């Protein structure tokens, strides 16, 4: 299995400015992410940064990093530029690991890459795990996905899907015989599609749900979904998340 891990990293963060360089047990967060990703089967792990300070911090810890433009609208656009800079061929598989996932499981990276590689009719791979709490099913911050018989995504939503018509009393979502799935925000792409993605028109569904992956489905492309047996490790979105991760890392040393 041959693939590349790309880690987009930008300095501007509303809730946690300078997040890629936040210290976690003596290492910048983005370096910890890259070291975790390097434990996967990836042929190479590269940070795609928007600031020379991030590149310098990575290079100081022997992590490969490239400088990309600062004006990208989203992480996918940054990854598309990184693919071009690295000269990746169209059929190359790229796994997007977020720069705020210092505890990511390397096995999950391998699984998502392998899922895409095993489904040649798909241009994107991602992951999900079973929801067993009705509160998570009802939570719009928990993104849900429904799949077809071959494990390809039919739809992503912030709404509780699938809706158990006969068991959801008084409008409160309940978990029926078909277990709902929580989407895990990790993606594998074919490099050719990733370079094409920024040229695709934004879809109305993407705008309504505020879910970028719906653009892929809107334009008739397929997304393969790996069903994980475990939930994803926590990421770092807030100062409180950062302190939780620091405690976890300190406890594992």
Evaluate whether residue 10 is within a structural domain. Answer: yes
pLDDT value at residue 122: 98
pLDDT value at residue 202: 94
Lowest mean pLDDT among 72-81, 98-107, 129-138, 153-162: 72-81
Q: Is the Cβ–Cβ distance between 155 and 181 less than 8 Å? A: no
C-alpha–C-alpha distance, residues 121 and 103, integer Å:
31
Phi, psi of 114 (to 5 degrees): -65, -35
- 11 and 98 together in one domain: yes
Evaluate whether residue 252 is within a structural domain. Answer: no
- pLDDT one-digit tens code per residue, 73-88: 777 888 999 999 999 9
- 79 and 36 together in one domain: yes
Q: For the residues 100-104, what does the mean pLDDT come to?
A: 95
pLDDT confidence band for 53 (50 / 70 / 90)? very high
Evaluate whether residue 241 is within a structural domain. Answer: no
Q: For the residues 236-245, what does the mean pLDDT come to?
A: 93
Evaluate whether residue 109 is within a structural domain. Answer: no
- 134 and 158 together in one domain: yes
C-alpha–C-alpha distance, residues 144 and 160, integer Å:
7
Evaluate whether residue 239 is within a structural domain. Answer: no
pLDDT value at residue 103: 96
- 12 and 97 together in one domain: yes
- 133 and 204 together in one domain: yes
For residue 241, which of 43, 15, 11 has the smallest C-alpha distance?
Answer: 15
- 11 and 94 together in one domain: yes
Q: For the residues 202-227, what does the mean pLDDT come to?
A: 97
- Look up the domain containing 137 and give its range: 120-232
- 88 and 134 together in one domain: no
- Looking at the predicted structure, is the pLDDT value of residue 72 above 90? no
C-alpha–C-alpha distance, residues 85 and 79, integer Å:
10
The residue among 137 and 169 whose pLDDT is bigger is: 137
Q: How many domains does the chain have?
A: 2
- 99 and 127 together in one domain: no
Evaluate whether residue 52 is within a structural domain. Answer: yes
Evaluate whether residue 243 is within a structural domain. Answer: no
pLDDT confidence band for 228 (50 / 70 / 90)? very high
Q: Which residues pair with 224 in a beta bridge?
A: 125, 152
- 92 and 124 together in one domain: no
pLDDT value at residue 206: 96
pLDDT confidence band for 1 (50 / 70 / 90)? low
Evaluate whether residue 57 is within a structural domain. Answer: yes
- pLDDT one-digit tens code per residue, 11-50: 877 778 899 999 999 999 999 999 999 999 999 999 999 9
Residue 36 sits in a domain whose CATH number is 3.90.550.10
Q: What mean pLDDT, rounded, does the chain reach?
A: 93
- pLDDT one-digit tens code per residue, 192-214: 999 999 899 999 999 999 999 99
Q: Which residues contact 184 (CB under 8 A, 6 or more apart)?
A: 108, 126, 127, 128, 129, 228, 231, 232
Q: For the residues 93-98, what does the mean pLDDT come to?
A: 96
Q: Is the Cβ–Cβ distance between 112 and 186 less than 8 Å? A: yes
pLDDT value at residue 31: 97
- Looking at the predicted structure, is the pLDDT value of residue 222 above 80? yes
Q: Which residues contact 26 (CB under 8 A, 6 or more apart)?
A: none
């Amino acid at each position: 299995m041959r693939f590349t891990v790309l880690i987009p990293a930008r300095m501007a963060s509303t809730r946690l400015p300078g997040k890629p360089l936040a210290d976690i047990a003596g290492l910048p967060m983005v370096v910890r992410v890259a070291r975790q990703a390097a434990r996967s089967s990836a042929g190479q792990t590269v940070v795609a940064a928007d600031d020379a300070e991030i590149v310098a911090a990575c290079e100081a810890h022997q992590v490969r990093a490239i400088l990309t433009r600062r004006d990208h609208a989203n992480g996918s656009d940054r990854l598309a530029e990184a693919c071009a800079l690295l000269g990746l061929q169209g059929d190359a598989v790229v796994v997007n690991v977020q720069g705020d996932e210092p505890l990511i499981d390397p096995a999950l990276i391998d699984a998502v890459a392998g899922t895409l590689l095993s489904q040649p009719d798909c241009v994107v791979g991602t992951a999900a795990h079973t929801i067993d709490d009705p509160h998570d099913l009802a939570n719009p911050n928990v993104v849900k996905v429904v799949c077809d018989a071959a494990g390809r995504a039919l739809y992503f939503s912030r709404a509780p899907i699938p809706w158990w018509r006969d068991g959801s009393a008084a409008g409160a979502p309940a978990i029926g015989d078909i277990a709902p799935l929580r989407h895990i925000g990790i993606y594998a792409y074919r490099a050719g599609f990733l370079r094409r993605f920024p040229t695709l028109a934004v879809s109305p569904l993407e705008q309504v749900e505020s879910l970028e992956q719906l653009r892929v489905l809107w334009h008739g492309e397929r997304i393969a979904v790996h069903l994980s047996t475990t939930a994803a490790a926590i990421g770092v979105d807030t100062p409180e998340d950062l302190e939780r991760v620091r405690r976890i890392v300190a406890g594992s040393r």
